Structures are given as structure tokens and as C-alpha cells.
Amino acid sequence: MKKLVILIFLLVVPTVLAQGNHMTLLAVQELDGVLKGSEADLFVELNEGESRVFLETYPLTRMDTQISTRFAKDIACSFFDLDCSENDFIYTIRADSNIIGGPSAGAAIAALTAITVLDLNYEEDITITGTINSGGVIGPVGGVKEKIEAAAENSIRTVLIAQGTMITNETNLQTYGESLGITVKEVADLNDVLFHMTGKTLKQTKQIPDNPQYESIMQNLQNDLCVRTIELHQTVNEFNVSDEEREEIQRQLNQSDSAVDEQNYYAAASFCFGTNVYLKGLWYEKKNLTESEQKEKIDSVKKNVQVIEQNVLSEPIQTIADLQTSIIVAERLDDVRNQLETFNESENVAQSLAYTEERLFSALSWMTFFTMPGKEFVLNDEILERSCRRKIQESEERFQYVTLVLGGLLERQDTREKIDDAKASLETDRFNLCLIQASEAKADSNLILSSISVPRENIDQFVQTKLDATKRVIAENSEEGIFPIIGFSYLNYADALQESEPMSSLLFAEYALELSDMDIYFTAPRTKVSFKKPSPFGEGFAMGVILTVLVVLILHKTRGKNHKDL
């Protein structure tokens, strides 16, 4: 009898230990053309390791579920500043049928990951349905009404959904949930999710502190560009300008004036930059430059590029402001080079030449930020090379995930080319340029992942949530004495575009979020994870996991840049 008890113990206990923390997942499946809600079980276990992610599912799921699990884990660790480098993460999903697929379980996986790492007590009768996005933002998913019905048939009492999605197809989900005994609540990000599940607010709301040095430098930069606008406007008025052209000029002038009134100096500078390109292009068109005059201007641009590059190389990189200044100047100069290479292929030579000259001027203008004081760090080539390689790896993983989810729809994107450009910059030791190229590539993928499930009527709310996430990251870094000038500038531009161009606003919010993350430059100390020793089941479990296979889609597409920002 004693031997039988021991045998049962050996068979049962490892399985119990391996389950770790648990959450009920909600999903939908289509039966005879009708959507029906279903539920599944998610388990998370930590073992000592190297931040690897293992996933076992019953039944097998699509490959995008495997990749989205890693994505959700990375977001959870990043959002709560957790050091997840010394643990392996083992996820198990069990369902009655093949109902779990893709990003729809992302928010639940991220939330349970954070709860497990932080060893928090939580309510198992609360669950969430939604995607997880950069900045810890919760995104909407479909079939929520049916998922609420599934929750009512199980032991769930509260269902969390993405902010701004309470009214779906004219159905008030809160009222509908109450009729079934389910409480439905909206959440904006992971912080909200964990508050409802654990009763703890892990991240406090912070405001970005004023930075007089940044404001002073950016205001002077904006003034220089907008004075240039006035001068070009006067020059163009000497020619015969059509009513349509005058209306376009006035529209652009109104944009910059409005931004100045709101003291959004980066947005104003960007609008003046765009106006300068337009005005100078008109001037060159009406002046009808000869080929000799065009060549003279191009030669002048080439010489000035070399001079500015030498000046940048001579600047000591001692602060994050120094580094980000060198990054953005390098990116502008690279844009100028690309324009020069394709100049003869341009359909509008006057506008192309105008853009090239004004882009060069913007690179020169950004150099004034080398005077901005800041906290000093060791930022040598070894550190920057390591950061560049890590950022390329992150952008590759994110790109492959999007490719797997969307397939051929990604062919319209230039993300692949940006990653290849970053690799080329790495090989030529241009680490500052590599960082911004890889960061923008990752942000492009994040934008696609963030927007694929957001209905048009919810885009404004989603943009605001993303802007709030960016402000939180900048505020946290500013508190440490580190001010991300690129991230803050792009945030201001996203703010200015929010009403008129919400999708462009979302793009620059993604850029701001990615370029405000100081981990792209160095690894600061993070919260260490305490873990329990692996159970005997954990060792055997790793032998039977399903390893994620990443599929690389090589896109051959010529990228055409059309920057409107400074």
C-alpha cells in the first residue's frame, strides 16, 4: 500500500508543480457558421535558465501563437522593468479544441508572466481578452460578446477588455455582461490589468518634468527654420504663384503658427521644414534651374555632408543627449546621401533638390543639441555595437512575427529594407545610424501589430493610450536624469498630428516610444527574479516542448522616403 501511495505521489506531484500559475483564457470558434465562445487554460512556470521561452499546447496551435507568446513575455519584462535574463519561461495552453491562435491571448500571457515573475497573489476568477502591444498597451480583439458568454458558463466573474471597446456592434458589453452575472471592465495597459487582478498599482502615474535646456535649444532651432520659411515665402512671391499654390502655402503656414501658439516647438519646426521644402521647390521650378546650376548645388551639398560628418565625429559622446544628437544627425545625412544617389531618377528635380538641401540644413540645425548638458555615461564603440546588434535582433524577431501574422500584406512595408540598412551600418561601424534604423524598423512592426485589430472608430482612443505610454517611459527616464531628446521631440510631433492625421500620430508615437527606451544604449540594473527550483517535471517538460520556428520573408522593394518631420 505504501509503495502505491509513493507511486501516485511521483506521478501526480510533478504535474501539479509544473502548472505554476494559472489563468482561464477566453476564445471563440466557428461552428456551422456561428461564433461560439470557448475557454482554455494557461499555465506559466519559471525555471532557472537564460530567458528562453518554451510553449506546449493541447491541441497544437498555429506558429504565430508560439511567437506571440515570446512577444508577450518580452513586453511584460520590459514594462515592469524586470530582469528576466536568468529564467526560462514555460507556458502550457490546454483547450478542448484548436481555438487558441495568434495574438488574441497576448494580454493574458503578459499579465500572468508579470504575476509569476513578481510572485503576486491574484484573483483567478478574473481574466482578460486582448492583444498586447508596445508600451504594455492592451489592444482590442473580436468575438468579445461570445467570450463573455463563455465566461458566464465557467468560473469567471470579471472580464477585462481593451479601452474604448465597451460598445461593440451596438451592444453595450457592460450591460450584456451584467445580464449574465459577469462584470466587464475596460483597461488601457498592463498596469491596469494587474491592478484589477492583484489589487496592486505597480507603476505610478508620472508627469514629464520641464526641461528648460531642451525647450530653449528647440525654440531657437524652430525660430531659425521658421525665419527661413518667411524668407523663402518672400522669394517665391516674386514669381507668378497660382491660387492653388497660395492656398497650399497658407495651409502649411497655419500649421506651424498653430504649433508655435501651443509652444510645441518641435512640431512647429517640422511644419516649417516641410513648408521650406515646398517653397524652395516652387522657387526652383519657376526659376527653371539649368543643369549647370543643379550640378553646382549638388556638389555643394556633397561637400557640406563631408564637413558636417567630420564635425560630428569630433564631438565627444558623453551624455545620452550627445548620443541621440549624433544619431539623428547621422540619420538625416544618410537621407541626404540616398537622395543624391537617386537624384537623376527623380520625376520632379526641383522638389528633390529642395528636399536634399533642406534635409542637410535640418542635420546642421540638430547639431545645436550637442550643447545640451546631461548625465554622463560610458558610451564607447563596444557598448554601442552591442546595443546595435541587440536592436537588430529585436527588429528581426518583430518583423518575422508580423510577416507570419499578415503574410503578403507586409509587402507594402519598407521594414525589411530598414533592417538590412541597419546591418550594413553595423558592418561599417556606423553604430549611431544602426541604432535609429533598427529602432525604426522595430517600431514599424509594432505599428502594424498595434493597428491590425483596431477599428476606425477606436483609433483616437488607441492613439491617446499609446501617447500616454510614451509619456510614462519618458517621465521614468527623466526621473533618472536622462532626457531622450528624439523620443520627446517625436512625442510632440505625434501630439500635433493626433487630430488631423491619427495614423501618422500613431507612427511617431511608436518611434517616440522605441527611441525613449534607454535600454537600447546600455543595460541598467533591474528587479531580479526570485524563482523556485525546477521540479522533476520541469526538466522532462523541456524535452517535449514545441520550439518556435521563425520564418524570414525577404522583401525586395525600393523604399521611397518622404519625411515631413524635422
Catalogue all structural domains in the chain, each as residue range(s) with its CATH number.
20-198 (3.30.230.10), 212-371 (no CATH), 381-528 (no CATH)
Q: Which residues contact 162 (CB under 8 A, 6 or more apart)?
A: 130, 131, 138, 139, 140, 141, 186, 187
Average the pLDDT over each of 157-171, 334-348, 386-400, 537-551 and give the range with the smallest value: 537-551
Look at strands 131-133 and 137-139 and give their pairing.
Answer: antiparallel
User: Is the pLDDT assigned to residue 255 strictly greater than 90?
Assistant: yes
Set of cell numbers at residue 450: 498595434
Average the pLDDT over each of 94-98, 193-197, 357-361, 518-522 and give the range with the smallest value: 518-522
Look up cell 517611459; give the residue. 473
Residue type, 268: A
pLDDT average, residue stretch 355-363:
96
Give the residue ranges of DSSP H helices in 131-264.
Answer: 144-152, 173-179, 190-198, 212-236, 243-261
pLDDT of residue 204: 87
Average pLDDT of the chain?
84
- Check residue 546 and report its DSSP letter: B
Q: Could you tell me if 3 and 128 are in contact, meaning their C-beta atoms sit under 8 angstroms apart?
A: no
pLDDT of residue 558: 30
The residue among 108 and 451 whose pLDDT is bigger is 108
3-state secondary structure at position 17: helix
What share of the chain has pLDDT > 90, as a percent?
A: 59
Phi, psi at 266, each rounded to 5°? -65, -45
pLDDT of residue 284: 95
pLDDT average, residue stretch 25-31:
84
User: Is the pLDDT assigned to residue 223 strictly greater than 60?
Assistant: yes
Residue 160 CB neighbour total at 10 angstroms: 23
Cα–Cα distances (Å) from 432 to 36, 242, 415, in that order, read 51, 43, 18
